[in-house]
Amino acid sequence: MGKVAVSPPMRLLLALGLLLLARPARAAEADVIVYGATPGGFCAAIAAAREGAKVVLIEPTAHVGGVNTGGLSFSDSNQTVRSTLLGLFAEWHRRIAADYATRGVKLPYDVAVKNNAVWTYEPHVAARVTDTMLKEAGVTVLTKQPLESVEKEGTKIVGFRTSAGLHTAKVFVDATYEGDLMAKAGVVWHLGRDSRDEYGESLAGRQYPKQKMAIDGFDANGLPLPFITTVRLGDAQAGEETVMVYSFRLCLTKDPANRVPFPAPKAYDPARFELVRRYFLKYPNAPLPWDLYPLPGDKFDANNGIGKMFSMGLVGEANGWCASDPAGRAKLWEKHKEYTLEFYQFLTTDAAVPAKIRATMAELGLCRDEFPETGHWSPQLYVREGRRMDGRYTLSQKDIIEEPKKDDPIAVSSFPIDSHDCRRIALPDGVLNEGTIFPVRMPGRPHGYPYHVPYRAITPAAAECTNLLVPVALSATHVAYSSVRVEPTWMAIGQSAGVAAALVAQAGVTVQALDYPQLRSRLLAQNQVLDLPILPPTAEAKGSQAVSLAPRSLPGLILDDAEATLSGAWDPSASFKPHIGTGYLHDGQRSDGLSKATFRFKAPADGEFELRMAYSAHPTRTKRLPVTLTNGPQVQAFTVDQTIALPSGDAFRTIGTVRLRRDGDYVLEVTNKDTEGFAIVDAFQLLPVASPAK
């Protein structure tokens, strides 16, 4: 019998399969089981564990962290209102920055400043931080456990089976990109794109914003060339079964000391790229096909270019992914990798490719210090869009642009509506990419429209399942999903889903019957943002100049509201200037004693310090804001009249003098108890008291 050649990645996948067979079966039992270790999944697991639940995070593959640890190292939060992304998202980024700082690496941005600067990191750093946070939360993580079946009693999931056995829990969270657990549990879902009439969406149906390429998409026999997906336009108003393109997010470098050459493709055929060859011959000034985002460590995050005609995405090959079993997905993963390798060889060797592009691409290689277990190649395919649940509320274009406010918010999303190519069509007069929605931003601003993600959008119909939450494959149209679909948003929604799952498990109720005020209270306690932002005037928003005074530009120890642990209801604002960072918080004149902002810090030195507070003085402010500073049994109390104007030219006012011990652990707390007026939390400053002259 002849031998069959097996590529290294396929050998890896086969080896993982053998490991699954060899491992002793050990099923999990928990209060909450999260299936899918995506960013939404690991945030759900950590949040539930911090609420006191016993949590198990089960991942079908060997990889934890989804694309956040799999190559997507250019945070899409630069196109959001960052002040709405606190909670675990902000903590995760603070920890990444701290990881670099402990090694003496200064990042070109400050995570405490919530503007629209680019935030980047390396995959192995993201993985290290993610692993640490999961361990600290006490989350049990099981990998290489693909879902086989689900067992239900009525509308309740009892458990689901993998090769390790039956995993049981009180509540389940499906955090997979594909919505696999949701589908197996009998929850109604859909895949593809909606018609324009179904939800009244102008961006639905078939979309043609890209220019038609003046090239022939057919071979000499009149057949479509490779990479053409159809020869029919179809009804522009109608729905469509295809989804946006998948691709890898590769971590690359030009540094010879860290560069690993791209492996050769298994079977490169130059004729397969005839369509791309014709494109370059027709358009010799075409841009570099791959988007390259600079990263720390002299690296790049390589991404599919949404505006490019040909890029890293294999158009048309994403459509069978969700329906495939693990073996089928392994084949599609390999197909996407082979396309990427073949395209790289074409771009670096074919004479039709402009010399500048050939030279630039030839300099790039994989990173020796990233993904050593998988030959330095990302183990995670970027699944931009999978199944979408038909839940109790379906988000649509109208919810984003016209009616953003909801009564049961669990997150604020503000990434632009943005879809990559879905089809490539050969027509008699040229070739046309279809399905692209170029980023829909608020006019004059660098971000999309802020809107609420309601709790109802992550809950199935009660008749279908009563103990399942779906934060990633949530209920949305294709258009709305094109905004929700980024990791920062999924991290926020995932965190809220984890809190909700823990509360449902504790109360013994259905996910549909969970008391929203209780959920809101716990979300705020975990520092989630639930109120829509008050945006600065458009003229100030241009150039993302949302920061009034950068904390790092000020002397002394600065405690900005972005660093506070919040409980109760706080509303973000940036209406009054000056403010520290991107804005401040107010309590909406509730004066109920339930709103607290807590700052924890270590004293920088021994001695006396001025305790100074930043706030926007106004007659509507409170005249008696309670502030306490605690160090063990020692408590100092202050009352701040926030109607008093700040000293001329100063952003702070001294509210008292405190004596600190070097490296002592201090807690500074602000509450709105009996405040009778707007309680404002912007920032505190600690300045050493100058010694008298001798």
CA distance readout (Å), 285 to 215, 428, 539, 589: 15, 24, 35, 59
Distance CA 16, CA 179 (A): 22
Name the amino acid, one letter, at 240.
Answer: E
Q: Which pLDDT does position 575 carry in this prediction?
A: 66
Q: Which pLDDT does position 14 carry in this prediction?
A: 36
Is residue 444 over pLDDT 90? no
What is the average pLDDT value for the chain, to the nearest integer? 92
DSSP string, 271-288: GGGHHHHHHHHH-TTPPP
Give the global pTM: 0.76
Q: How many CB atoms lie within 10 A of CB 99?
A: 17
Average pLDDT over residues 280-307: 94
DSSP string, 588-635: TT--EEEEEEEEEEE-SSSEEEEEEEE----TTB-S-EEEEEEETTEE
More confident residue, 474 or 23: 474
CB 32 within 8 A of CB 144: no
* pLDDT band, residue 8 (cuts 50/70/90): very low
| The dihedral sign for the CA sequence 621, 624, 625, 629 | positive
Return the beta strands (E) in 460-564 as ranges: 468-469, 557-560
User: What kind and span of H or E run contains 641?
Assistant: none
β-pairing, 625-631 with 607-614? unpaired
Reduced to 3 states (helix: H, G, I; strand: E, B; else coil), residue 651 is coil
Considering the four listed CATH numbers 2.40.50.140, 3.40.190.10, 3.40.50.1110, 2.60.120.260, the one that applies to the domain covering 547-688 is: 2.60.120.260
DSSP string, 3-59: PPP--HHHHHHHHHHHHHHHSPP---EEEEEEE--SHHHHHHHHHHHHTT--EEEE-
β-pairing, 381-382 with 55-58? unpaired
CA distance readout (Å), 439 to 80, 413, 477: 12, 14, 16
Q: Which pLDDT does position 656 carry in this prediction?
A: 95
Q: Which pLDDT does position 547 carry in this prediction?
A: 56
Residues 382-423 pLDDT 10s: 999 999 999 999 999 999 999 999 999 999 999 999 999 999
Distance CA 222, CA 279 (A): 18
Distance CA 667, CA 630 (A): 5
Residues 574-619 pLDDT 10s: 767 678 988 899 987 778 788 899 999 999 999 999 999 999 888 7
Residues 528-571 pLDDT 10s: 999 999 998 764 444 343 457 888 889 999 999 989 998 888 88
DSSP string, 308-374: -SS-SS-TT-STTTTTS-HHHHHHHHHHHHHHHHHHHHHHHH-TTS-HHHHHHHHH-EEETTS-GGG
Residues 412-425 pLDDT 10s: 999 999 999 999 99
Is residue 25 over pLDDT 50? no
Residues 620-678 pLDDT 10s: 789 999 999 999 899 999 999 998 988 877 889 999 999 999 988 999 999 999 898 88
